[in-house]
Structures are given as C-alpha cells and as structure tokens.
Amino acid sequence: MPAASPPRLVVAGLALVVALTACGPQPPDGATLLKQSSQRMLALKGFHFQMQITGFTGTGEPVQSAQGDAHPPDLHAKVNLKEGGILLEVEVIFKADSVYLKSFTGGWQQLSAVQVAQFFDARLLFDQQAGLFAAMRDTTAPYRGNSEKVNGHDTYPVDGVLQGPRVHQLLPLIREQGAYHATYWIESPSNNLWRARVTGNLFDASQAATIVFDFSNHDHPVSVSPPPLG
Amino acid sequence: MITPFRSARLRSVNRPALLSLTGAGLFLASLDAYVVVTALLPMLTSVHIAVNRAEQATPIITGFLLGYLAVMPIAGALSDRFGRIRIFAACLAFFAFGSFLTASAPSLSQLVTGRLFQGAGGGALVPAVLALAADLYPAGDRSPVLGAVSALQEIGSVLGPLWGGLVTASSFGWTWIFWLNIPAAALIIWALWPEIRSRREERRPTSLDWIGALLATAGLALLTLALYAANPEQSPVGAGIIWQAPLAIFCFVVFVWYERRASHPLINVRWFRDSSFSGSALTNAIAGAGLMVALVYIPVLANAVFSMNASGSALLLVRLMLGIPIGALLGGWLAHRLRSYRIVAALGLVLAAVGFLLLSGWTEGSLKPHLIGPLTQADGELFLTGLGLGLEIAPVSAALLDAVGEAERGAGASFLIVMRLVGMLVGFSLVAGFGLWEFHRATAHLLPPLPALNPNFAAQFAFYTLKVKQAIFDEYHLIFRATAIALLVGAAVAAATLRPLARPRWQ
C-alpha cells in the first residue's frame, strides 16, 4: 500500500481537527433550551429581578419599572409608577394571599383583591401557569443565536414569538391582539435565564414598546414576611 | 498663589481676543454651577428616579461643588507649571466631557460623575483665567480686568438657573443645557489652538501642595458622604456617619498640621489666628449656605406646591437673584461710606435672615396678593433676601482680604471662593437631609386613599393632597427658619469679629 502523500496527510489532519471540534459540547437547540430553562426558573428557591418598560405605554399603564426579590408567588418589590409625567416609587409585598402597599407617604397598608387587580398584580409575572417562565414553553418558532454576554455571563439568545393572549396573561394591560417578539438569554448548561425581552405594539395598535426583565441571584433563598401595618 | 509672569510673548498677543475667549469659557462653566436647580425633577425622571426619592438629587448638586472644590485651589499653581492657556484648554475640554456624561446619562451614577467632572473642569478655569489676565496686563491696569473676569463669573452663576429653567421648559429638554456646552467649548478651544500649540507660553516649575490638596479633598468628600441622607425616612444623615465624620475630621486635622510645615502650603493657617480673618471666613461660608438653600428650595417649592414648570420656578428665583448684584454694589458703597465692614455685613445677614423668616411664612396663596401693580409681596420678600445676601459680599470679602498680607491677596481671594463653596456644600447637605427627614416624620402615618370600591375617593384624595402639601410647607418652614437662624449667627460673628476699614494708603 503506497504511503499517503504529505498533502493528503495535511488534509486528513485538518479533517480530524474539524471533526473533533464539531464533536465538542454543543448547546441544545432553541426549543430545548427554552424548555429546560423554564423548568429551572420555575423550580428556583428565589431570585432577584428587574423589570423595565420602555417605548409607548399610553396613559393606562402606570408601571414603568419594578425590581425586587421573589420566591413566587411571594415577592417584595419597589415599583416606579408614572402619574401625570412624574415618577412615583411605591413598595409592594405579596405574601401568600395578602398584598401590602407602601405608597408616597405613610406606612404599609393591606390591599383588597379588587384594589390589587386595579393596581398591578405582580404575582402574575412569575405565576406557575400564567407567568413569564411558563410562557417560555409557549414560545413558538424558537431560534438560538450565537453566544452573548449578559451581565457578565455567557448566554445563548433564543428568539421566538409569543401570542398576544399569552402575554396579556402576564400583564393584563397588554393588548391581546397580534403576536409579540420575545428573546430569552439563557446560560448553558446551568439553564439560568438572565434576561428576557418582549417587543411589539404592546399597549397601542400602532406604537411599539419593550419590556425587559433582568434576573440574578438564581436560587438564592428568598423569604418574604408580611410588613407591620400602619 | 497666582504670580503674574512678565512674558514678552504674552504681551505681544491680542490681549482682548485672548481674554474674551477664555472669559467666554469661564462664563460657560459658571452658568452650569447652579443650572441644575431648576431642572432637577426632569433630570431625576430621565434616570428613572421617582420624585418621592428626591434625596437622590442631592449628589447632582454636591457632586459639582465637590469637583469644583477639589481642583480650584491647585489650578493656579498648575497653570504656573503647565501654562495658563494649556491648563485652561485642558480643563475646558474636561468640563465638556463632564457635560457629555451628564447629558447622555442613562443612570444616576453617570449623571453624578458627569457633574463631578464638570465641577472639576469648571473650577480650574477661575484661577487659570484670573492668572492669565494678571499676566496680560501690568499691575496698574490690572484691577478692571480682574474685576471684569470676576463679574463674568458671578453673572454666569446668577443667570444659570434662569438659563436652565428656560432650556428645560423648552421642547429641547434639560439635556440641551449640557449638549450645548460641547460645541461651545470646542469652538473656544479651536480658536485658542494656535496659542495652545505655540509652545512658547512661559512656564516655570512651581511647588504644588499635592498632599494638602488631597487631604482637604478627602476630608470634604468624607464629610459630604457622612451628611448625605441616602435613606431620610430613617436618618437625617448618612448611615456611615459614625466612621466617615471622624475620618473627615482626622483628614482636616492632618491637613492643618501638614500646612503648618509645608514650604508652599495651600493656605496659610496662621491667618486663622486673626479673628477678623476667621470671622469673615465663617460668615462667608454661612452666607454661601444661605444662598444655596434659596437656590435649591425656592424652585423646588415653586414646583411642588405652586405647580410651576421649570421656567416659572426660574423666573421666581430671578427676583432673588436680582437682589444679589444690587446688594453687592450697595454693600461696597455703604461699607466705604460708613467706614465699617461689621455694620454692613451684619446688616446684610440680618436682612437675609428676615427675608428667610418671611419666606418661611409662605402658604399656598402667598404668590397671589398683589402689592403694587404686578408686584406681589412674595416678590418683595425674595428681593429682600437676595439684597441681604448681596450686601454682605463686599464687606466680608474686603475684611478677609485686609487680614491677609499684600503679597498673599491671590491666595486669599481663592480662599474666599473656597469657603463660600464649603458653606454651600455643607449647608446644603445638612438641610437636604434634615428637611426630608422632617417630611417623612410628618407624613409617617398619612396613608394615601385607594381608589377601588371607595365612593368617597375624590374627597379623600383632595384631603390627602392638602395634607401632603402642608407637610411640604412644614419641611420648608423648618429649612428656611434654620437658615435664618444660621444667618443671624453669621451676623453676630461678623459684628463681633470684623475689623474696621484700614486707613487708605498706597503701597
């Protein structure tokens, strides 16, 4: 058998290198990443979140941003509301079935269910069925992009589409019509979700808005206790 | 200390052109000293800070003052070493960079950093331009030029709040206050470019008191942090005051110890043995604090309870600002006429204190009753406060400068500005924390009504709004009365310590 010529050896070597590289750990596809990350986020003992709404929000949507710690359904957050062009910060605590509010002045007061529905039911954001993490599984046409750094972590962005009624469950002020563009930045293999973004004509049929969620302190235990009233 | 050079090269240049250009830069920076007082609310909103977390606006003001104070005392010596025009251009560029950071800030931290850089760049311009003016003109012709440069600086700082209010209320928005600085600074630097590049500007090695400057800046920064009430619901001062305040005092003690031994100290601490010097320095600081309280709280009051926009609150403030230069001229004339610094300084501070006491009696209807024609009683009260604050400037400054030796006037003049700014920084920090703490204390049990299932919501909400406005008034009453007391203390200090005018003599 004739010995392989040097060029052939080089080609064979290169082929081996390429094959080996290709056999390295590959991140799962978009759908799998979304499913695994959804499971991971729903099972966390606690996390820190930040939510920011930008773009056209109209007059009916007072919430501009929120940040706090959650162990759904319990959470403790500071919420920025826009009222007549000025921002106001309020603090909310959701503990079991009770909701507490600390507003511009005075101490904590407990809200009734009707008042909560009128205000901002932050529990829905991370609800086991209606919330964002559950919505990850309902995202259609997932497409995984190249690795990106988010808050110092290597993540894979997964783009997809969320139907209006599904997003409406998260924040009832969002329009039920149409579909919205969603992107999730997921770390692999930990499956931690670091950022999620929903874009589209969320609050008005012709004007765009964006909601961005940032997560950190994954699985750091969070325990929320009811505040002293008054 | 600023010592003029005898440079043949500098005397051959186009002096008016050079002074106009550097003066324009100085004016630009001095406009920005208090420009934010009428733009604070929109600035906070654009970095997503709620109006009920107004304590976070404090560093926007204190950051600028701190930057200014850190650089101003060493800028004169820096300009000796590296050349006036170069230091001027470098600091103007730094000021423009600070303006860029402020205008483009997505967060409070960048906003405060931008203001700190603006202050540092802007603060260095004052001694650099004064020294340049002294270089350009011989001793006999110098004083009108130095006076014009100082006046430019004062006019700029008086016009700042009005300029800020007008830009903020326009369709451009507050960021344009700062965006406009960038092309203006670039234009000035471009026009100065041949001078900057010439390399012929005279320089000389100067001993620079870096350690003294660092110690003083560290002490002031620590004191500002200690007094910053980040959580005024719980405390009127900062959480770290327990270690920051002693550390600040330690820095100041080491500073004094070091300055007594340094061969070229930043300030001559022996001056303080003269009670007329110490008294005028303290009075100057108290008056600075009074001015800052008026500058910040009149626009905020206008906005919060009189529902005025930025330009409306700026125009309200103009009534007070108008009184200052008129008072300053009158104070100089009166001191000369009566041959007494102490009477005029004390009179000015008492008038300002009376002004603050009258302002502290304001209610929601205070802007309405007309006195004569379109003028209201409030206009008169604001003007009186400004007039009082202006009256003390000339006698207090002159008493301080009389107390230092003829050869040290430059350093004495810098020290005057420094003490005024220290008063502004410390006074405002204290007042901001205690004022908000009082507001939270007054409203600790005032629960807002909630709309759902509440048939009386409208009536309850109107009542609640009334109560909140009352609490805001209570906060201002406290602040203005405390300021009035401080000004009365200042008046007593001035009356007890200021020496009479020296007999005129030529030296």
pLDDT of residue B69: 92
CA distances (Å), origin B69, targets B28, B115, B307, B416: 18, 13, 34, 12
A86 chain-B contacts, CB cut-off 8 A: 41, 45, 51
Q: Indicate whether A229 belongs to any domain.
A: no
Mutate to test the interface with A, among B450, B460, B470, B475 (most CBs of A within 10 A): B450
> Counting one residue from A and one from B, how many pairs have CB atoms under 8 Å apart?
59
pLDDT of residue B2: 46
Q: From A64, which residue of chain B is nearest by alpha-carbon distance?
A: B48
Q: What pLDDT band is residue A103 in, cutting at 50, 70 and 90?
A: confident
Which among A65, A89, A104 is the nearest to B448, CB-wise?
A104
How large is the average pLDDT for residues B166-170? 91
Tell me if A106 and B446 make a contact (CB, 8 A cut-off). yes
pLDDT per residue as tens digits for the range B26-54: 999 999 988 998 888 889 888 888 888 88
B45 chain-A contacts, CB cut-off 8 A: 85-87
Shortest alpha-carbon distance between residue B67 and chain A (Å): 29
| Pair B196, B85: CB distance under 8 Å | yes
pLDDT at B5 over 70: no
Q: What pLDDT band is residue A9 in, cutting at 50, 70 and 90?
A: low
How large is the average pLDDT for residues A48-67? 84
Three-state DSSP at A161 gives strand
Place of tokens 């001027």: B88
Which among A86, A105, A109 is the nearest to B468, CB-wise?
A105
Q: Indicate whether A23 belongs to any domain.
A: no
- Give the Cβ contact number of residue B140 at 10 Å: 6
pLDDT per residue as tens digits for the range B290-302: 999 999 999 988 8
CA distances (Å), origin B187, targets A70, A145, A189, B181, B182: 53, 46, 55, 10, 9
| Pair B92, B189: CB distance under 8 Å | yes
* Cβ neighbours for B322, distance < 8 A, ≥ 6 positions apart: B383, B386
pLDDT per residue as tens digits for the range B442-491: 888 888 887 666 677 788 888 888 888 888 888 899 999 999 999 999 99
pLDDT at A136 over 50: yes
Q: Indicate whether A3 belongs to any domain.
A: no
pLDDT of residue A42: 92
ipTM here = 0.72
CA distances (Å), origin B81, targets B75, B87, B298: 10, 9, 42
pLDDT per residue as tens digits for the range B231-258: 888 899 999 999 999 999 999 999 999 9
Q: From A108, which residue of chain B is nearest by alpha-carbon distance?
A: B447
Which among A104, A114, A115 is the nearest to B52, CB-wise?
A104
- Chain B residues with CB-CB distance to A under 8 A? 41, 44-45, 48-53, 443-448, 450-453, 468, 471
Mean pLDDT over all residues of chain B?
A: 87
How large is the average pLDDT for residues B409-428? 87
pLDDT of residue A173: 80
Angle at B333 between CA B327 and CA B338, to 5 degrees: 115
| Pair B196, B189: CB distance under 8 Å | yes
Tell me if B452 and A230 make a contact (CB, 8 A cut-off). no
Instruction: For chain A, give percent helix, strand, coil, nearest 5.
Output: 25, 40, 35
Tell me if B450 and A111 make a contact (CB, 8 A cut-off). yes
Q: Indicate whether A1 belongs to any domain.
A: no
- CATH for A129: 2.50.20.20
| Pair A161, A180: CB distance under 8 Å | yes
Which among A65, A109, A118 is the nearest to B451, CB-wise?
A118
Taking the C-alpha atoms of residue A11 and residue A17, their distance in angstroms, rounded to an integer, is: 10
Backbone angles phi, psi at A213, to 5 degrees: -110, 135
- Give the Cβ contact number of residue B354 at 10 Å: 17
Number of domains, chain A = 1
Tell me if A87 and B450 make a contact (CB, 8 A cut-off). no
pLDDT of residue B294: 93
Taking the C-alpha atoms of residue B93 and residue B79, their distance in angstroms, rounded to an integer, is: 15
How large is the average pLDDT for residues B147-163? 84
Amino acid at A1: M
- A87 has which bridge partners? A82
| Pair A137, A34: CB distance under 8 Å | yes
Tell me if B453 and A115 make a contact (CB, 8 A cut-off). yes
How large is the average pLDDT for residues A28-36? 89
Q: Indicate whether A5 belongs to any domain.
A: no
Q: What pLDDT band is residue B202 in, cutting at 50, 70 and 90?
A: low
- How many Cα atoms occupy the beta-carbon half-sphere of B240 within 13 Å? 11
pLDDT of residue B105: 93
Q: Indicate whether A92 belongs to any domain.
A: yes
| Pair B381, B39: CB distance under 8 Å | no
CA distances (Å), origin B68, targets B32, B146, B204, B328: 11, 20, 25, 23
B441 chain-A contacts, CB cut-off 8 A: none
Taking the C-alpha atoms of residue A139 and residue A141, their distance in angstroms, rounded to an integer, is: 7
CA distances (Å), origin B107, targets B44, B114, B277: 9, 11, 43
Angle at A105 between CA A101 and CA A109, to 5 degrees: 30
Tell me if B48 and A87 make a contact (CB, 8 A cut-off). yes
Q: What pLDDT band is residue B287 in, cutting at 50, 70 and 90?
A: very high
Give residue A211's domain range.
Answer: 38-216
> For chain A, what percent of residues have pLDDT higher than 70?
87
Tell me if B447 and A64 make a contact (CB, 8 A cut-off). no
Q: What pLDDT band is residue A218 in, cutting at 50, 70 and 90?
A: very high
Rank B124-138, B215-229, B308-322 by mean pLDDT and report only the highest.
B215-229
pLDDT at B1 over 70: no
| Pair A168, A203: CB distance under 8 Å | no
pLDDT per residue as tens digits for the range B320-345: 998 998 998 899 899 888 888 999 99
Mean pLDDT over all residues of chain A?
A: 84
| Pair B229, B36: CB distance under 8 Å | no
Q: Indicate whether A30 belongs to any domain.
A: no
Taking the C-alpha atoms of residue A205 and residue A201, their distance in angstroms, rounded to an integer, is: 6
pLDDT of residue B51: 84
